[in-house]
Each structure stands twice: as structure tokens, then as C-alpha cells.
Amino acid sequence: MRLIRYARGGRAAAGAVSDGYVHELAGTAPGARGLGPRVAPLAEVTLLPPCDPRVIVCAGSNYASQIREKDRPWPDRPALFLKAPNAVVGPGAAIERPGELDRLEYEGELAVVIGRTARGIAARSFADYVLGYTCANDVTAADWRSDGQWARAKSADTFCPLGPWIETGVPDPAALRLRTFVNGTPVQDTGTGDMVFGVGALLAYATRWFTLHPGDVLLTGSPSGVGPLTAGDEVSVDIGGVGRLTNPVVDRR
């Protein structure tokens, strides 16, 4: 299923998308929900971020292509950092570029949405804790990495677009094609099988330290090809079998 959060007529609600229509959800358990009655054509609603995470755990330097591109040492364990929930925006929402910034960067990523409380899980059992997958853009203020920690560089408002929906029917998260486009030009194109640590390994490692709850998100890293964004750009993260997330870039007022 493609699970969404959406706004229509001044009201926010959860639903699902099928054949170009938004449907109500039948049932209550996330893993057992079915399609209910039609609500409206998809084009007539505003898509919101598909989940509302309290915790966003991110993996850095997790693609072999980026490690080679940056000439970084091969990691012996996942490198984790956090993004703050205030950074989350949905499809179509503007990414705001701070005026004092020299370089704002896109980082197209596969995002894992948690479906049940996960603490100290085994890598082989990761799928039992995953609701589904969505597209993410780990927007980064490259200049601000010099702060000595990444809070400002990674967590400014609008720096975590998610969407357009949560795809629950992904049989193998290591067999997807991840592409990023800026103004229609491809700038990243890599298979998720290029991850150094797969989804199971990342969740097993992360949940040793962080208890993740339903709706929380794991970002799995970005491949080679990370580059700059300027006001007026449109950036899209496209993951085959998951969806396409598009956001404009504007100057922050």
C-alpha cells in the first residue's frame, strides 16, 4: 500500500493512494489496514510528510560510491547522526536556503519508516519492524559543518523533505534504483545494493542505542554525486518501486 498524510478542505487526515485516488484506511493496525472508500483524486489534495517522526536517525558515508568519490576510509561500523523533527517537510514544500550560506547540498536517500517499537533488534528480523519506505532528501548546509557538530548543518527548518508516501510493498530494499535530479538533470544514480551497511545492519546497530517508535525514520545514506542547490532550483529524489519526491528551493526570508 501507499500510505499518505494529506490535507483537504482545511483538514489533515491519513489515507492511502490507489489508481490516482485517495482512499480512507480500513482497519486500525498499520500492518493490517486495507483500502476504504474513495475520498478524492490525488491531484485535489495536498500531500503532507507521510509520517511525523520524533526521532530521525541518519547513516553517513554508507555508499561505496561516495566513499570512493571522497577518498574516505572504509567504515568498520555505521556512522550515525541525528536530524531534528523540525526539519521535516512534505512533497512540494519549499526547501529554504539561508542567505548567509555559500553552499547548500542535496543528498537523495532511501528512508525507512518504523512500524513497531524497535529496541535491540536482530538484523535478520529487521522487516518485522518496518512499516515501509519513502524518499528523503538529507539537505545539508555544507558551510556549517565547521561548527564542530552537525546540528545546524543538518537540522535547519525544511532540511528533511520526506515523501510522497510510505510504500509498504518493497520486497528488497537492497534492490532499488535511487536517482536524484536537479532541474530535470540526473545528478545521482546508484542502486541501493551499493550500501555498505544494509537496512537490517543499520537498524540493528541504531537500536542498540536508540529505541525507535512507530513513525520514526532511518535515513540510509546518500551515494556519490552530492552537489549544490540554489534558489530557483527544483530537486527530485526518485526511487524505483517507492516514489518520487520533488521540492523547490527558495531563499529564506
Tens digits of per-residue pLDDT, 18-66? 999 999 998 766 666 789 999 999 999 999 999 999 999 999 999 999 9
The pLDDT, as a whole number, for residue 28 is 67
For 112-138, b where at least 16 C-beta lie within 10 A, e where not — what string? bbbbeebeebeeeebeebbbbbbbbbb
The pLDDT, as a whole number, for residue 222 is 98
Domains 1-47 and 49-251 share a fold: no
Higher local confidence (pLDDT), 10 or 161: 161
Domains of the chain, by residue range, sit at 1-47, 49-251
Prior bond to 164 cis, omega within 30?
A: yes
- What distance in Å separates the CA atoms of residue 2 and residue 18, rounded to the nearest whole number? 7
How far from 123 is each of 77, 108, 120, 217, CA to CA, in Å?
A: 14, 24, 9, 17
Residue 224 confidence class, pLDDT cut points 50, 70, 90: very high
The pLDDT, as a whole number, for residue 23 is 96
Name the CATH superfamily housing domain 49-251. Fumarylacetoacetase-like, C-terminal domain (3.90.850.10)
The pLDDT, as a whole number, for residue 33 is 73
Q: What is the mean pLDDT of residues 227-244?
A: 98
The pLDDT, as a whole number, for residue 27 is 74
Q: What is the mean pLDDT of residues 162-178?
A: 98
The pLDDT, as a whole number, for residue 30 is 63
Q: Which three cell numbers stand for residue 102?
A: 555559500
- The percent of residues in the chain predicted with pLDDT above 90, rounded, is 93
Residues linked to residue 41 through DSSP beta bridges, in sequence order: 21
Higher local confidence (pLDDT), 121 or 35: 121
Q: What is the mean pLDDT of the chain?
A: 96
Reported as a single tens digit per residue, the pLDDT across 188-203 is 999 999 999 999 999 9
Residue 225 confidence class, pLDDT cut points 50, 70, 90: very high
- The CATH number for 1-47, chosen from 3.30.70, 2.30.30, 3.90.1010, 1.10.3470, is 2.30.30
The pLDDT, as a whole number, for residue 26 is 85
The pLDDT, as a whole number, for residue 24 is 94
Q: What is the mean pLDDT of residues 67-79?
A: 93
The pLDDT, as a whole number, for residue 55 is 98
Give the closest residue to 79 by CA, choosing from 62, 63, 55: 62
Q: Which three cell numbers stand for residue 25?
A: 484506511
39, 1 contact by CB (below 8 A): no
Q: What is the mean pLDDT of residues 166-190?
A: 98
The pLDDT, as a whole number, for residue 31 is 61
Q: If phi over 0 gives left and psi between -120 and 50 gives alpha, with beta otherwise, what is residue 194? A: alpha
Residues linked to residue 90 through DSSP beta bridges, in sequence order: none
